[in-house]
Structure 1
Amino acid sequence: MTAAVDVRDVEHVYGTGRGAVTALGPISLTVEAGSFLVLVGASGCGKSTLLRLIAGFERPTAGTVRIGGREPVPGRGAAVVFQQPRLFPWKTVGGNVDLALRYARVPRPERARRIPELLERVGLHDVAERRTWQISGGQQQRVAIARALAGEEGLLLLDEPFAALDALTRERLQEDLRHVIATSGRTCVFVTHSVDEAVFLGSRVVVLTRRPGRIALDLDVGLPRTGVEPDRLRALPEYAALRATVGQAVRSAAEDISD
């Protein structure tokens, strides 16, 4: 498989002098095209920092980050979904998706066809004409995902997009996102605190240590990506075993004291 993301000997330091804090690294990892990588660990372990480096929002203090062999540039090569949807409230749901398609330089006739397709993909076919403030928080996050899928970027980066949602909505969106990524062929890097979310979503789970974040566990999940109902998947003995393994790694990594 082709590497979608290559992180090589990366370190990241915030501040200078005596106030400098090493947030991440050294860390190296390769994300293969079409895979779903989940980064999990305790608060402050560098998960979101690593995601921002991959997105190109920040540059590493040391080492290199490459997307498809090139240095990342914000807004190019990767679509990003944040914890808050960051939609335009003066536009309709369909208008927000249309704007993303315009930025992707999709011609108007093609945009008219793709808007309902994208909203259907995230289960929002019946709210295209509503304003974003007229729909629920879970629906707003679905719009953010549809907007991220609107471009041609093969890489999708998500920074705890479901953290602020209630448990039921969060579970439903996990199921929807898992299906969308599995059927779209996109590469995904997803940040979470939740062990269950990591195992359910990921084809691969990377656990980071406490600051400075380093890789404590790199695990191929190996569960079926399609064709199994979510409740049946969560009931599998293999699922419980993976949860236990990742959970223990997260606890141990949070307690680890680095030199």
Structure 2
Amino acid sequence: MSSSETVTKAVEVGDAERAGSVRLDRVTHQYGRGRETVTAVGPVDLTVPAGEFLVLVGASGCGKSTLLRLIAGFEQPTHGSVRISGAAPRPGQTAGVVFQSPRLFPWRTVRGNVDLALRYAGVERARWKERRAELLARVGLEGMEERRIWEISGGQQQRVAIARALAAENPLILLDEPFAALDALTRERLQEDVRQVTAQTGRTTVFVTHSADEAVFLGSRIVVLTKSPGTVALDLPITLPTGKVDADELRESAEFTELRTRVAHAVKSAAAA
């Protein structure tokens, strides 16, 4: 191995051990046994540095959600290894997770749902009020602590789910098409919120979507997956402005349009290959 390769390898190993970093080495995941075995994803090699916003995008059935479950530790790879901050993922502890459905407890108030998350996260009870107020303010739900889940909109329910995922002070958050069931206007508003929240917290984020527009708007890096079994078809860094920007101006910019077209084309090509 040359000296430059040795340095590169050392940097990769260092990145893979930082808090919130993600590393997948030759990961393959299969369902079933014998003749019924189906390979859902892999082999996949992927390193996500701490603080990056990675978007996994591809057609339905390409293995995006499977990869997310592997990173969360909800499932184990058939072959290869998954490491979060240099260690094996621990379900419910390694990352905050937001699903397509909010999965809230309808018999609890907004406060009750967030407090339960704080309890499981091991936050001292004396800090709950302050921490809850901070989380709800971060997702734009100030003053709604006593509202019942059935009294708030679908978009607001997803905001509660995001607040709950942020309750544990771990450095990784995973989102599996969290806005898929929402109307276009609510979806765009929540995209802007997630973009701002992740920038403020600096957490590593892995976001699953099938939308090229959503991927380009949110991600600092996009990985397009092939059709099943999903492998990496495109690994694209995104250099759009970050921080507080006008969302409409960003979406209407020539650079955004060019990137969205490139990603959409890659998704279609990968699905047809």
Q: Structure 2-normalised TM-score?
A: 0.92
Superposed structure 1 runs of 4+ greater than 6 Å apart: none
- Aligned counterpart in structure 2 of residue 2 of structure 1, from 6, 15, 18: 15
Shift of 1:116: 1.2
- Aligned counterpart in structure 2 of residue 178 of structure 1, from 195, 198, 207: 195
Aligned to 1:121: 138
Shift of 1:2: 2.9
Aligned to 2:245: 228
Aligned to 2:214: 197
- Aligned counterpart in structure 2 of residue 206 of structure 1, from 213, 216, 223: 223
Q: How does 1:29-48 map to 2 (within 5 A)?
A: 29-48=46-65
Verify: 1:20 aligned to 2:33, yes or no.
no
Aligned to 1:149: 166
Aligned to 2:86: 69
Shift of 1:88: 0.9
Q: In the alignment, residue 26 of structure 2 is paired with which amino acid?
A: D
Q: In the alignment, residue 204 of structure 1 is paired with which amino acid?
A: R
Aligned to 2:181: 164
Aligned to 1:91: 108
SS in 2 for 1:37: strand
Please give the per-residue CA displacement for 1:130-186, whole angstroms capped at 9, x wherever unaligned: 111110110000000000111111100000000011111111000000000011101
Counterparts of 2:121 and 2:132, CA distance in 1: 13
- Aligned counterpart in structure 1 of residue 117 of structure 2, from 100, 117, 129: 100
Counterparts of 1:251 and 1:89, CA distance in 2: 39
Aligned to 1:132: 149
Q: How does 1:52-63 map to 2 (within 5 A)?
A: 52-63=69-80
Counterparts of 1:108 and 1:211, CA distance in 2: 46
Shift of 1:117: 1.1
Q: Structure 1-normalised TM-score?
A: 0.97
Counterparts of 1:96 and 1:2, CA distance in 2: 34
Shift of 1:204: 0.3
Counterparts of 2:189 and 2:236, CA distance in 1: 25
| Percent of pairs with identical residues | 67
Aligned to 1:109: 126
Give the number of equivalent residue pairs.
256
Q: In the alignment, residue 49 of structure 1 is paired with which amino acid?
A: T
Q: In the alignment, residue 196 of structure 2 is paired with which amino acid?
A: H
Q: In the alignment, residue 173 of structure 1 is paired with which amino acid?
A: L
Aligned to 1:218: 235
Shift of 1:126: 2.2
8 Å Cα contact 2:196-2:244 kept in structure 1: no
Aligned to 2:5: none
Counterparts of 1:65 and 1:148, CA distance in 2: 21
Counterparts of 2:78 and 2:244, CA distance in 1: 43
Shift of 1:90: 1.2
Aligned to 1:249: 266
Shift of 1:73: 1.3
Counterparts of 1:59 and 1:117, CA distance in 2: 34
SS in 2 for 1:2: helix
